[in-house]
Amino acid sequence: MLILDLIKQEWKKSIRSRGFYKNIVANLFLGIFAVYIIVVFLFLGFSLNSILEKVSTSLTPMEIVNGAMFYLILGALTIRFLLQQLNTFNLPLYQTLPIKRSTLVNFILIKPIFAPINYFTLLVIMPFAIKSVAGYYSGIIAFRFVLSFVFIIWFDSLTAAFLKRKFGSSVFAFLAIFIVFASIAALEYFKLFSFFVVSQKCFGWIILNRFGLFIPLVAVMLAFGWNKRFFYKNFYPEQFNQKLKGAKISTADFSFLNRFGIVGELISLQIKLMLRHKRTRTILLTSVIFLFYGLLFYTHHSNGDGMLFFIAVFMTGILMLMYGQWAISWDSNHFDSLMTKNIPVRSYVTANYYLMMAFNILCFVLTTPYFLFGSKIIYMHIAAFFFNSGVNVFLLLFFSTFNTKRVDLSRSSAMNYQGTTYKSFLIVLPIMFLPMLLVGILSWVASLSVALWTVSILGLTGILLRKPLITVCINQFNSRKYKLAEGFREQE
Amino acid sequence: MIEVSNLQKAYNGITVLNIPQLTIPKGESFGLVGNNGAGKTTFFRLILDLIEATSGGVQVNGQKVARNDDWKAFTGSFLDEGFLIDFLTPREYFNFVGKLYLKSEGDITLFMESMQDFFNGEILGTKKMIRDFSKGNQKKIGIAAALLGEPKLLILDEPFTALDPSSQIRLKRFLNDLQAASQITMLISSHDLNHITEVCKRIVVLEKGDMVKDLQTNTDTLKELEAYFAV
């Protein structure tokens, strides 16, 4: 079995990569996170039945799920389109060996289906099927229900890969998806056309009818066929890699920054870096999504002050936090260049400082609509802004010097933990939870205003003392410089 | 210009470079040869303060290079692709580097035009990013960027490898002209004994971290080196 050999080699590639063992602590953290997700999903699965029973009395829980199915498929497709990494199988490596091309293509297409992350949704669906579907209908129907989900996962995975290979993930694709979604939601909301009813009927038939499952199966085969046709048409890897390489570059001009000398040059370089790499672009996109985080929390009044402040710090500092964690590591590819050209260390560190401050101001301005949620939120955000600009920015500058692992920017997108070590987690923990604890305790012992004044004053002190604090960061950078340079030189 | 004293670099207790004393006067063209693992790149990295010496140190113009920014203003260097910024186009990269050395836009344009011959017309016209260029062209970009700041000290690690024959000859002529016209100090390593003897007035042979030969180039130098490296 040739395919088995290929799978084995891919497996060896991942466990023999240099980062694998070194990174065991980071993997441990990710493992804990995975366990957390599994527990949450299972819990949701077991309670879904009773939740849905309360939603409607006329429909069975399964009928509601069927109605939502259309949206689930579309939603999953979108998320996959945005986040799913295309299988980067080293085609040229095998192309010269006597292996049939169709075997290779099949491998590329089938491999992602074995990724366990695909089947996380089953953790919700299986308990639900056992508890609800088997109860309302029968065991065999519950089985078909689960099976239809597996087919849908395959369909989504294959279709998303196809769309991504074909169109790439441009801003336009993102906009197009958004428009399609908005119009579908509008149709449903204004009761012009209900996809819910259609979807409920369709999937009801698929699951209840004895031969219904053939339909998703055919859909999977069709999606597989599209992919195969695509590879058939684009025979050489360079043809389908072209789009991924991002041949076009945004040549936006940041010449207004030139006035600020070397620091300005470095900032504009850093902005170019962020706009020209997929991984950093994804960070920008994720940050925008996180800006809506407040809608989830500010609408409930049950949250404690500490928690609210945590959210405020998170939202007004999201870009800084995302960027700052790897503030120096972003430059790992060209670190030697920056260290040997005429760039005083002070300029380098100051550039990073100003860039993070700019991110802070940007996020603060973008989150001002939350001021509509009341004066408490206004004070929270202002205090958080001061704290981010006076304390967190320096913590990030200081601790980011411990991230000595090379960050490979050419690898794409979210859920990419390459270059993550346990240190990355250790950096973020105090930055996120210290202010939360501080505000939580102070507002409990004294009052909220005391708590907010305390963090604001801490922040303002930091802003006023920025010169000596930057010097502290410079000394730290200087003492870690060789470790950084050595770590960045080591390719995975 | 460069003063090396008691310089030692060890990894895990194994000494990879040991230079008790070495002086490179201003305006010298200094060549470094040696087999793989001889310590050539390590030596250059120590001069450029990219690694920390286990003991001893390097002084440039009487100042220690370690944790110092002053030498950067008059030093141009290219060791490997890490010295490039690969997501920029060559033009953007030259502009960036030029600005760092306080060159005006006009100076930078003039410089790029003077490099057209060396680039063989392949580099400046396109909007490709540096990472999409071939190894040889990347090397040309890196060498050009090292020269952009009109350095007084130039450090190049194996500048001739990966270049096509015409470019090798052009580079050789270019370095010789530069040497004749200005009082530039050059440190160049190479595996090609022909090239190095044509470009450098002084050649040092490293073996397993030790300086084993220190020669002033003359007509017999090439033969001597060939005899030394013959197996």
**B88 chain-A contacts, CB cut-off 8 A:** 269, 272
**B9 chain-A contacts, CB cut-off 8 A:** none
Q: Is the dihedral of CA B138, A264, B115, B144 positive or negative?
A: negative
**Whether A279 and A165 share a structural domain:** no
* Residue of B100, B141, B153 to mutate for A, most A C-beta atoms under 10 A: B100
Asked, for residue A18, whether it belongs to a domain, the answer is no
Asked, for residue B51, whether it belongs to a domain, the answer is yes
d(CA A70, CA A142): 19
Enumerate residues 6+ apart whose C-beta is below 8 A from B24. B1, B2, B4, B30, B185, B187
* Residue of B72, B87, B92 to mutate for A, most A C-beta atoms under 10 A: B87
Return per-residue pLDDT of chain B as tens, 231 residues: 899 999 999 988 899 999 999 999 999 999 999 998 889 999 999 999 999 899 999 999 989 988 888 899 999 999 998 899 988 999 999 999 998 888 888 899 999 998 888 888 888 888 888 988 999 999 999 999 999 988 999 999 999 988 999 999 999 998 999 888 888 999 999 998 999 999 999 999 999 999 998 989 888 888 899 988 887
Closest approach of chain B CAs to the CA of A278, in angstroms? 12
pLDDT grade, residue A242 (50/70/90)? Answer: very low
**Whether A109 and A170 share a structural domain:** yes
Are the CB atoms for A322 and A357 separated by under 8 Å?
no
pLDDT at A18: 54
**A334 chain-B contacts, CB cut-off 8 A:** 82-86
Domain extent, residue A355, equals: 255-489
Are the CB atoms for A6 and A100 separated by under 8 Å?
no
Domain count, chain B: 1
Instruction: Answer yes or no: do A276 and B92 touch at CB < 8 A.
Output: no
Asked, for residue B186, whether it belongs to a domain, the answer is yes
Asked, for residue B197, whether it belongs to a domain, the answer is yes
Instruction: Give DSSP secondary structure letters for A72-90.
Output: HHHHHHHHHHHHPPP----
**B67 chain-A contacts, CB cut-off 8 A:** 478, 481
Out of A88-92, A296-300, B104-108, the most confident range is: B104-108
pLDDT at A19: 54
CB crowding A137-172: b at 16 or more within 10 Å, else e: beeebbebbbebbbbbbbbbbbbbbbbbbeebbeee
pLDDT at A458: 93
pLDDT at A115 > cutoff 60: yes
> Which residue, A190, A207, A183, A43, is CA-closest to A133?
A207
Out of A81-90, A208-217, B16-25, the most confident range is: B16-25
CATH number at residue B56: 3.40.50.300
The residue of chain A with its CA nearest to that of B128 is A247
**A12 and B CB contact within 8 Å:** no
Instruction: Answer yes or no: do A336 and B79 touch at CB < 8 A.
Output: yes
**B85 and A CB contact within 8 Å:** yes
pLDDT at A299 > cutoff 90: no
Which residue, of A245, A276, A299, is where some domain finishes? A245
**A410 chain-B contacts, CB cut-off 8 A:** 131
**Whether A382 and A480 share a structural domain:** yes
Pairing of strands B14-24, B2-11: antiparallel
**A337 and B CB contact within 8 Å:** yes
Asked, for residue B108, whether it belongs to a domain, the answer is no
Query: pLDDT per residue over A136-169, tens digit each?
Result: 888 888 888 888 889 988 998 888 888 877 776 5
pLDDT at A246 > cutoff 70: no
> Which residue, B223, B178, B181, is CA-closest to B203?
B223
Are the CB atoms for B105 and B144 separated by under 8 Å?
no
Portion 410-449 of A in contact with B at CB < 8 A? 410
Asked, for residue B104, whether it belongs to a domain, the answer is no
Give me the mean pLDDT over the A207-214 stretch: 84
pLDDT at A237: 58
pLDDT at A294: 82
Are the CB atoms for B24 and B1 separated by under 8 Å?
yes
Residue matched to tokens 């007509």:
B219
> Which residue, B88, B23, B207, B187, is CA-closest to A409?
B88
**Whether A212 and A187 share a structural domain:** yes
Instruction: Answer yes or no: do B83 and A251 touch at CB < 8 A.
Output: no
Give me the mean pLDDT over the A479-485 stretch: 90
d(CA B198, CA B159): 14
Asked, for residue A16, whether it belongs to a domain, the answer is no
Instruction: Answer yes or no: do A273 and B87 touch at CB < 8 A.
Output: yes
**A471 and B CB contact within 8 Å:** no
Identity of the residue numbered B63: Q
Closest approach of chain B CAs to the CA of A282, in angstroms? 17
Query: pLDDT per residue over A343-375, tens digit each?
Result: 889 999 999 999 999 999 999 988 988 888 888
Instruction: Answer yes or no: do A333 and B86 touch at CB < 8 A.
Output: yes
Asked, for residue A4, whether it belongs to a domain, the answer is no
Phi, psi dihedral angles at A265 (to 5 degrees): -60, -45
Asked, for residue B140, whether it belongs to a domain, the answer is no
Instruction: Answer yes or no: do A340 and B75 touch at CB < 8 A.
Output: yes
**Whether A262 and A324 share a structural domain:** yes
Asked, for residue A396, whether it belongs to a domain, the answer is yes
Are the CB atoms for A222 and A162 separated by under 8 Å?
no
pLDDT at A360: 92
Instruction: Answer yes or no: do B101 and A481 touch at CB < 8 A.
Output: no
**Whether A185 and A232 share a structural domain:** yes
Instruction: Give DSSP secondary structure letters for chain B.
Output: -EEEEEEEEEETTEEEEEEEEEEE-TT-EEEEE--TTSSHHHHHHHHTTSS--SEEEEEETTEE-TT-SGGGGGEEEE-SGGGS-TTS-HHHHHHHHHHHTT--HHHHHHHHHHTHHHHTTSSSS----GGGS-HHHHHHHHHHHHHHT--SEEEEESSSTT--HHHHHHHHHHHHHHHHHS--EEEEE-S-HHHHHHH-SEEEEEETTEEEEEEE--TTHHHHHHHHH--
Instruction: Answer yes or no: do B72 and A344 touch at CB < 8 A.
Output: yes
Hey, is A414 helix, strand or coil? coil
Domain extent, residue B53, equals: 2-81+151-229
**Whether A239 and A349 share a structural domain:** no
Q: For B51, which of A251, A478, A486 is closest by C-beta distance?
A: A486
**Whether A223 and A294 share a structural domain:** no
Enumerate residues 6+ apart whose C-beta is below 8 A from A407. A279, A326, A329, A330, A332, A418, A419
pLDDT at A283: 82
**Whether A269 and A225 share a structural domain:** no
The residue of chain B with its CA nearest to that of A258 is B99
d(CA A84, CA A254): 32
pLDDT grade, residue A62 (50/70/90)? Answer: confident
Give me the mean pLDDT over the A218-244 stretch: 73
First to last CA, chain B: 36
**Whether A207 and A265 share a structural domain:** no
Q: Any idea what DSSP says for residue A406?
A: P
Query: pLDDT per residue over A34-49, tens digit each?
Result: 888 888 888 888 888 8
Are the CB atoms for A266 and A254 separated by under 8 Å?
no
Phi, psi dihedral angles at B19 (to 5 degrees): -120, 105
Asked, for residue B194, whether it belongs to a domain, the answer is yes
pLDDT at A92 > cutoff 50: yes
Chains A, B: CB contacts under 8 A, how many? 80
Query: pLDDT per residue over A430-473, tens digit each?
Result: 888 888 889 989 988 988 899 999 999 999 999 999 999 999 99
Domain count, chain A: 2
Asked, for residue A344, whether it belongs to a domain, the answer is yes
Q: For A478, which of B67, B75, B129 is closest by C-beta distance?
A: B67
Question: Number of C-alpha atoms within 13 angstroms, CB side, residue B51?
Answer: 21
Closest approach of chain B CAs to the CA of A328, in angstroms? 14
* Residue of B94, B97, B99 to mutate for A, most A C-beta atoms under 10 A: B99
Give me the mean pLDDT over the A118-124 stretch: 84
Instruction: Answer yes or no: do B84 and A343 touch at CB < 8 A.
Output: no
d(CA A377, CA A383): 10
pLDDT at A356: 94
pLDDT at A69 > cutoff 90: no
Asked, for residue B33, whether it belongs to a domain, the answer is yes
Instruction: Answer yes or no: do B100 and A478 touch at CB < 8 A.
Output: no
pLDDT at A417: 59
The residue of chain B with its CA nearest to that of A331 is B85
**A376 and B CB contact within 8 Å:** no
Query: pLDDT per residue over A278-287, tens digit each?
Result: 788 878 888 8
**Whether A347 and A208 share a structural domain:** no
Give me the mean pLDDT over the A266-278 stretch: 87
Instruction: Answer yes or no: do B129 and A478 touch at CB < 8 A.
Output: no
pLDDT at A247: 43
Instruction: Answer yes or no: do A409 and B149 touch at CB < 8 A.
Output: no
Instruction: Answer yes or no: do A339 and B50 touch at CB < 8 A.
Output: yes
The residue of chain B with its CA nearest to that of A483 is B51
Residue matched to tokens 């003063």:
B3
